[in-house]
Structure 1
């Protein structure tokens, strides 16, 4: 490579760093046109393409780079990231492993491999990679944030707090770090960040919905900690207003999804399940923020159970095998078409997809809450699998979903930006839950209420362990001291002993929740006083 092309590629890398994509593209093409195939030019073009959400094309360009220089760990690392964007998890894991074997020497590559491991649920490996990224470049806020987030998932809260603080030293306006550091501990009158958060909220770019969400949620959480509940709810509304307005949530789409989930199997559920007979999987389903992570921790504390986290494998495989059009994995058309898929093949594909994570565990848990819509298909494909569905007081469930800052990239949680939409969504869920309770075998499908776990932890834990076909182990009662990562919104709460303060939280906002109460009352799940009609 001549010095001229080196100079052009250096300028292209700088342009890419500053998101001057047009200039980066021009410089890379100039090198390719004047000097022929060049691995570095291909690499930079692949990064540019990935930044424009085209992982398929990025992989194609990276393969050109790899054909020229197969030993460059950077190429394998970024290929892994693009493979993961296409939900090709096994291929992504292999590419990430190859990148690590080749011995990265720069911070970005360590960080990229760490991100892949995080998204694969391997937070222990991710921490070491993020530590290496920070060691190679201590002045990049994103590297410190990624390390702190993984440390939080692993329960190393003091290290996580320090990492978030370091992130903010480098980039004071890093909204995710601001939000995260507030979430790690209870705010007090003497020690809180409300003034700084409000200042940042008011000074934000009004088009930056991500900043609006993170800062507004952090303010609301702080106000809740101080007992200023009414103000907190107002701030949640301000936090969510931008996304709610831009997304224009269509409740009819979710109504169709839930109807298809039940209707697609009306004729099938009466037939003997013909899928792969395996008793290893335990699916923990329900609405988010109703105790799914708590149950996962209780079961995962058993020596025969391995927790695999929240996986999308079953839905992705169903989409692939159903061959339906469109980008959505969980839509009415795919749920209906999956009824025609060979259940044995789907069950075998699912087990194969998790074999590396599950190892030789007697049981393993998959706690993707929205697998509730796949419960019928899961039973047909894996008739030996257990399903545990979480329930919670409808008003507490709706409020908890509204209070949660879900990933904005996951459109299935679009209902959570408006309280009334949370209530309507709850009714869809509850009708489907009742359908499964009636349609699926009691030895394969069971339900548990969050309030019952809090009221009788040992009794409910014993019942669930028995449902899983295992002998009782007292370690299940020590779930909060269990090792392992928790990459959910409950990462802090589930490392504490069980507490009851979240039960009846809705009563603090009874007046503001009146429209929600009306919807839930009309839907037949609560009475006029807000009492849960859980047996109806």
Structure 2
């Protein structure tokens, strides 16, 4: 006897199969509906989800568009279309799709959460918070929804709200590694109030678990031990946490050395002519350098000015370079793309960049783009946007390397793979420093400036005034009140930059002087420190 399923039954079976990763079954049920019933929005939607699950996001967008053509007023279709557009680095289109989903009104908690995640990845945490709150209201038993709400509250500066949401996440899922790590980072741990025992137990229970969980837990343990003054143990735990990830990634320092050399060739001898033929806007201010050297601090100082708006930590300039150069390969930032980008029409690139941040920048006279890795693109930035300002952060080499090592960067972002060993951090610093010195020698002094983190801490007023003047702006006292500034901070410094300036992170390396000896040897051989660890700034 042949049983013929109804359309509703086929779609229900397709959804069930998709949830169980039985993709062939899901595909068969959807195609049966389309063959017998013609265009069906739900069948197209499920096929789009299936296609996105296989990382074919360009095709997924096409299929979501077909679902929308049949049924335009379904927020789920727009939400997942936004998610795939974001995966394709089409940020403007993703933002539009996410706004449309929010406008229509998601029907369920998952869709609210999906739209919220898109907004967080676009840097709009203010918009994301309400969506995550709605997801939590519709499904209060889902730990991940509470975690997403907590993270956005943290980035927005609502630390009590973030702590409450992280705590609720842990009530629902006591072993939630990201929440355990994040709640520890919100405030200083002390002997009377810490989660060290829980963290160690969770780490040991996952001795054979996935490396990302180990990283989150190990970093949280190290942070707790640092707060408790047990500095040697903290460094040991970082080593344990990073060992598996370091081995699996197989990082090759030569790859980054080649990247830095390719970047050096994009300004000065052999690079684009240092003319002013690019897009003439002077609105952009690029804040670059190594991570964890004060880039967020400088961003907050500048964006406290009434004429300056922060647009976040964007990859737009690099993504446009990759797109316009049309180089093969999966990497946006590689030697071949840097070289090929010299043939891009400078004005076209600059205009496209400014257009790509139009929604975020609004009508502000100036805006800051705080992507540290833009230091690699500084030569091309000066060519495409000759009136833009570039500010490069510097910091004591050992403190900079230790801070990078202590930071848990996004594990999916391969450009930070150097941060898994102290020695690789040191080699990376030397490559960055040679590139920085090259920019200092070749880029116009009225467009490229350097600032040392230690100098900002020692003389906030003087350095802030110098930075504001470099950007061609009049002085405003509000720039000294950066820690009270409103707005989201979606970086590792989200907690620190909402506090008054402090100097406790300067010279942190001295707590670990003996353990850092191999790293110090590399930095000393590179000529950036002397035998006592003093910074040789002129090198």
User: Normalised by the shorter chain, which TM-score bucket?
Assistant: over 0.9
Residue 284 of structure 1 aligns to a residue whose secondary structure is strand
Aligned to 1:492: 495
* Mapped pair 1:477 → 2:480: yes
Whole-angstrom distance in 1 between the partners of 2:258 and 2:208: 34
Residue 234 of structure 2 aligns to a residue whose secondary structure is helix
- 2:272–2:342 CA contact under 8 A, matched in 1: no
Task: Please list, as runs of the form range in 1=range in 2, the aligned pairs for 1:29-68 lying within 5 A after superposition.
Answer: 29-68=31-70
- 2:387–2:447 CA contact under 8 A, matched in 1: yes
Summarize deviations over 1:323-373 as a string: whole Å, max 9, x none. Answer: 100110000000001111111111111111111111111110001000000
Whole-angstrom distance in 1 between the partners of 2:233 and 2:23: 43
Aligned to 2:88: 86
- 2:266–2:380 CA contact under 8 A, matched in 1: no
Summarize deviations over 1:42-84 as a string: whole Å, max 9, x none. Answer: 2122223222322112212212212221221110110011001
Greater shift, 325-334 or 165-174, is seen at 165-174
- 2:274–2:383 CA contact under 8 A, matched in 1: no
Whole-angstrom distance in 2 between the partners of 1:504 and 1:223: 18
Greater shift, 340-349 or 201-210, is seen at 201-210
Change (3 A) 1:39 1:275: same
Whole-angstrom distance in 2 between the partners of 1:503 and 1:301: 24
Task: Please list, as runs of the form range in 1=range in 2, the aligned pairs for 1:357-376 lying within 5 A after superposition.
Answer: 357-376=360-379
Greater shift, 171-180 or 397-406, is seen at 171-180
Summarize deviations over 1:179-232 as a string: whole Å, max 9, x none. Answer: 101111111111111111111111127241110111111111111111111111
CA positional deviation for 1:109: 1.3
CA positional deviation for 1:270: 5.3
Change (3 A) 1:197 1:465: same
Summarize deviations over 1:268-309 as a string: whole Å, max 9, x none. Answer: 465323101111110000000000000000001111110111
Whole-angstrom distance in 1 between the partners of 2:25 and 2:172: 28
Aligned to 1:252: 254
CA positional deviation for 1:34: 5.0
Given the alignment, which residue of 179, 182, 185 partners 1:183? Answer: 185
Task: Please list, as runs of the form range in 1=range in 2, the aligned pairs for 1:95-114 lying within 5 A after superposition.
Answer: 95-114=97-116
Task: Please list, as runs of the form range in 1=range in 2, the aligned pairs for 1:132-147 lying within 5 A after superposition.
Answer: 132-147=134-149
CA positional deviation for 1:36: 4.2
* Mapped pair 1:277 → 2:280: yes
* Mapped pair 1:130 → 2:129: no
Structure-1-length-normalised TM-score: 0.97
Aligned to 1:227: 229
Summarize deviations over 1:443-473 as a string: whole Å, max 9, x none. Answer: 1101000000000000000000000111110
Task: Please list, as runs of the form range in 1=range in 2, the aligned pairs for 1:505-520 lying within 5 A after superposition.
Answer: 505-520=508-523
Structure-2-length-normalised TM-score: 0.97
Aligned to 1:171: 173
CA positional deviation for 1:24: 3.6
Whole-angstrom distance in 2 between the partners of 1:147 and 1:508: 36
Aligned to 1:394: 397
Change (3 A) 1:158 1:40: same
Change (3 A) 1:330 1:317: same
Aligned to 1:308: 311
Aligned to 1:429: 432
Summarize deviations over 1:119-158 as a string: whole Å, max 9, x none. Answer: 1111111111111111111111111111110000000000
Residue 189 of structure 2 aligns to a residue whose secondary structure is coil
Change (3 A) 1:224 1:167: same
- 1:269–1:440 CA contact under 8 A, matched in 2: no
Given the alignment, which residue of 396, 414, 423 partners 1:420? Answer: 423
Whole-angstrom distance in 1 between the partners of 2:266 and 2:299: 29
